[in-house]
A and B are shown apart, each in its own frame.
Chain A
Amino acid sequence: EDQVTQSPEALRLQEGESSSLNCSYTVSGLRGLFWYRQDPGKGPEFLFTLYSAGEEKEKERLKATLTKKESFLHITAPKPEDSATYLCAVQASGNEKLTFGTGTRLTIIP
């Protein structure tokens, strides 16, 4: 069974204080690993797809990396508007289902 574990559950940072969010996964043949951002009361917003170990993607202050067992979402010099819950999901080859973690709730303090 595919599994995704995200840590920490919650993270509070000062504005400008860089950090990383972790997504550990087990999957039978990875088709893709996905990062989403979710604001309160809204649907998940797509950020990145990573397909193979060693791949990296960047968007503004966010960079996602992938190994064979985990993915990291690095946030550099965050701003208060980066506060949200960040979700990680995996999709196995030949399977339409995304398996989601329970997310990391990130709060950036001005």
Chain B
Amino acid sequence: DAGITQSPRHKVTETGTPVTLRCHQTENHRYMYWYRQDPGHGLRLIHYSYGVKDTDKGEVSDGYSVSRSKTEDFLLTLESATSSQTSVYFCAQGQGYEQYFGPGTRLTVT
């Protein structure tokens, strides 16, 4: 798993509630990423971080925010979850040009 863990691994939540997903790495890499994976779309970048408190938007960032207060942790927050945010979320860490992925979080918004 490339030294990355994600929590929770599964979550069911209701529309309109806030949700935070956590990504933790043990290898002190500078770059971390959040992707979502949906049938027919492949993996799409939500946000990424290039250091503590340094983040930038990806291609599907609307409705999501991120925070990185420590090198090892990268948090993804859905401020008010919607059914369109039902997906599998993957965190990745960057090593050079390559990205290594965590095990994923399956989120269902009802």
Residues on A facing B (Cβ under 8 Å) = 4, 31-32, 34, 36, 41-46, 49, 87, 89, 91, 96-98, 100-103
Contact = CB atoms under 8 A, between A and B. Distances in A.
Contacts of A89: 43
A31 to B, nearest CB: 6
Nearest to B44: A100
A92 to B, nearest CB: 11
A36 B44 CA distance: 15
- Interface centre among B48, B58, B94, B101, by most chain A C-beta atoms within 10 angstroms, is B101
Given A31-B97, A43-B103, A91-B97, A97 B59 contact: yes
Interface string B86-110: 0000100010011111111000000
A37 B109 CA distance: 28
Contacts of A46: 2, 98-101
Interface of B: 1-2, 31, 33, 40-45, 48, 50, 56, 58-59, 90, 94, 97-104
Contact of A100 (B42, B48, B97, B102): B42
Contacts of B102: 43
A101 B1 contact: no
